């Protein structure tokens, strides 16, 4: 039972990772979850934790645990297959030191090395000038490229699923524009959805992280480690560049953003030509922005207000803030003009800003 459990709850300062002991309180963790964690750590470590931290909040089943004075991370995935995939990736990439070291798996649970550091978006936000923001972004992108190369060397593409093959998946990504339009009661832009789908529906040949958001990267000095691998799979390598650069927390001036895309797009593409790669990047990029925008606007309408920015940034939440949504709409307006079939999204993005009263 909860009252009898020897486990204490840590409160973790996400800024400096200063973890302080706090007595366990009712409602923070259910007794069933504490018991489950104890059973998992018994199987993997042969010991039970004395303390547990909840770095991502109660909505995310990811925990920092202390066993015999040392911190580790345990995470419960959505199903056994996702846990199996993540275990295979962590095993294959542990030697590269680009991911947390793999410790063990039990059912839907993964145990891995605890990594100190700060999330990349926090460092970008704290940077004093644009040159520092650019350097941090380059650091993240170079490490993401290194992950792809290490995964190729470990032949991990054989261990991960093909992504985007479920019927209606591509169309569903495009339909995010309908969801946002309906929520804001504005007209849906006239898009050639067949042409968009033909570009976006690519062969599933390359290992990718897929959820390659900067928020999934921890930085300690010049070392970057990527975590949360349950969504990785096979698609096109450019998708990782798209996910990183389209994210609302990738905070760069327009000229810097354009320069980085120009520099890194040739590095992420394989045999595809430059023109095809550029078209694919901006089509996929606009769709990724729409996805992030749909999350933010849905939460905004649910709650009737913007969220606290510090809470979003330091808690690795969707950027449900006027600043981050403004960044997404500005980026969508620009990127949509780089490829003709996405151009109707330019004026639509301005309508979104107007409806949300973003200056």
162 and 244 housed in the same domain: yes
Last residue of a domain, one of 87, 116, 145: 116
126 and 88 housed in the same domain: no
Q: Which region among 11-20, 244-253, 284-293, 323-332 has the lowest average model confidence (pLDDT)?
A: 11-20
Q: What share of the chain is helix, strand, coil (3-state, %, to 5)?
A: 50, 15, 35
Mean pLDDT of the region 75-99? 96
- Map residue 197 onto helix, strand or coil: helix
Please state, rounded to an integer, the average pLDDT across all residues of the chain: 91
Q: For residue 12, what are the β-bridge partners?
A: 19
Mean pLDDT of the region 253-259? 98
51 and 171 housed in the same domain: no
97 and 36 housed in the same domain: yes
Nearest Cα to 232, choosing from 213, 210, 206? 210
Within a domain: residue 3?
no
1 vs 336, higher pLDDT: 336
108 and 154 housed in the same domain: no
Within a domain: residue 2?
no
Mean pLDDT of the region 154-176? 94
| Phi/psi at 220 (5° precision) | -130, 100
Predicted confidence (pLDDT) at residue 5 exceeds the cutoff of 90: no
Task: Read off the pLDDT band of 23 (50, 70, 90).
Answer: very low
Mean pLDDT of the region 8-18? 43
Task: Read off the pLDDT band of 18 (50, 70, 90).
Answer: very low
Mean pLDDT of the region 161-166? 93
41 and 70 housed in the same domain: yes
Boundaries of domain holding 305: 119-355
Within a domain: residue 308?
yes
Task: Read off the pLDDT band of 16 (50, 70, 90).
Answer: very low
Assign residue 62 the CATH number of its domain: 3.30.200.20
Predicted confidence (pLDDT) at residue 34 exceeds the cutoff of 90: no
Report the pLDDT value the prediction gives residue 55, as an integer from 0 to 100: 80
Distance of alpha carbon 347 from alpha carbon 356, whole angstroms: 15
Mean pLDDT of the region 136-163? 96
Distance of alpha carbon 240 from alpha carbon 172, whole angstroms: 19
20 vs 298, higher pLDDT: 298
35's CB contacts (< 8 A; 6+ apart) are none
284 and 204 housed in the same domain: yes
Q: How many domains does the chain have?
A: 2
Within a domain: residue 232?
yes
333 and 210 housed in the same domain: yes
Last residue of a domain, one of 116, 145, 167: 116
Within a domain: residue 18?
yes
Helix H or strand E encompassing 118: strand 118-119
* pLDDT tens-digit readout, 54-68: 887 767 899 999 999
206 and 257 housed in the same domain: yes
346 and 287 housed in the same domain: yes
Within a domain: residue 91?
yes
In this structure, are strands 233-235 and 206-208 parallel, antiparallel, or unpaired? Answer: antiparallel
188 and 324 housed in the same domain: yes
Query: Do 113 and 104 form a contact (C-beta atoms < 8 A)?
Result: no
What's the pTM?
0.91
DSSP 162: B
Report the pLDDT value the prediction gives residue 9, as an integer from 0 to 100: 53
Query: Do 192 and 91 form a contact (C-beta atoms < 8 A)?
Result: no
Task: Read off the pLDDT band of 49 (50, 70, 90).
Answer: very high
Predicted confidence (pLDDT) at residue 292 exceeds the cutoff of 90: yes
Q: What percent of the chain has pLDDT over 90?
A: 84
Predicted confidence (pLDDT) at residue 241 exceeds the cutoff of 80: yes
258 and 271 housed in the same domain: yes
Please identify which residue in the block is written with the tokens 């018991």: 35
Query: Do 62 and 78 form a contact (C-beta atoms < 8 A)?
Result: no
Within a domain: residue 280?
yes
DSSP 117: S
Mean pLDDT of the region 71-87? 96
Last residue of a domain, one of 116, 135, 170: 116
Mean pLDDT of the region 88-95? 96
Assign residue 192 the CATH number of its domain: 3.90.1200.10
Within a domain: residue 202?
yes
């Amino acid at each position: 039972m909860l009252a009898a459990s020897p486990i204490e709850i840590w409160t973790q300062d996400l800024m400096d990772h200063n973890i302080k002991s706090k007595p366990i309180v009712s409602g923070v963790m259910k007794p069933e979850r504490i018991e489950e964690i104890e059973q998992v750590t018994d199987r993997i470590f042969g010991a039970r934790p004395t303390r547990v931290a909840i770095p991502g909040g109660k909505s995310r089943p990811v925990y920092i645990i202390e066993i015999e004075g040392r911190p580790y991370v345990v995470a419960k995935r959505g199903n056994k297959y996702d846990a199996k995939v993540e275990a295979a990736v962590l095993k294959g990439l542990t030697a590269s030191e680009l991911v947390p070291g793999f410790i063990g798996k039990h059912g839907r649970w993964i145990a891995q090395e605890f990594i100190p550091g700060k999330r990349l978006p926090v460092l970008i936000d704290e940077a004093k000038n644009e040159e520092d923001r650019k350097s941090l972004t380059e650091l993240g992108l170079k490490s993401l490229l290194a992950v792809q190369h290490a995964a190729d060397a470990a032949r991990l593409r054989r261990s991960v699923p093909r992504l985007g093959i479920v019927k209606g998946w591509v169309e569903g990504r495009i339909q995010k524009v309908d969801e946002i339009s309906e929520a804001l009661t504005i007209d849906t832009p006239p898009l050639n959805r067949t042409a968009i789908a033909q570009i976006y529906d690519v062969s599933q040949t390359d290992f990718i992280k897929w959820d390659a958001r900067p928020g999934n990267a921890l930085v300690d000095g010049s070392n970057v480690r990527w975590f949360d691998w349950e969504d990785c799979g096979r698609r096109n390598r450019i998708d990782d560049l798209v996910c990183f650069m389209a994210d609302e927390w990738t905070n760069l001036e327009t000229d810097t953003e354009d320069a980085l895309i120009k520099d890194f797009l040739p590095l992420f593409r394989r045999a595809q030509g430059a023109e095809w790669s550029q078209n694919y990047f901006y089509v996929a990029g606009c769709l990724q922005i729409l996805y992030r925008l749909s999350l933010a606007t849905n939460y905004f309408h649910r709650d009737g207000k913007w969220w606290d920015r510090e809470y979003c940034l330091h808690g690795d939440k969707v950027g449900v803030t006027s600043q981050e949504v403004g960044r997404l709409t500005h980026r969508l307006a620009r990127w949509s003009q780089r490829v003709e079939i996405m151009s109707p999204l330019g004026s639509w993005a301005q309508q979104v800003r107007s409806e949300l009263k973003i200056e």
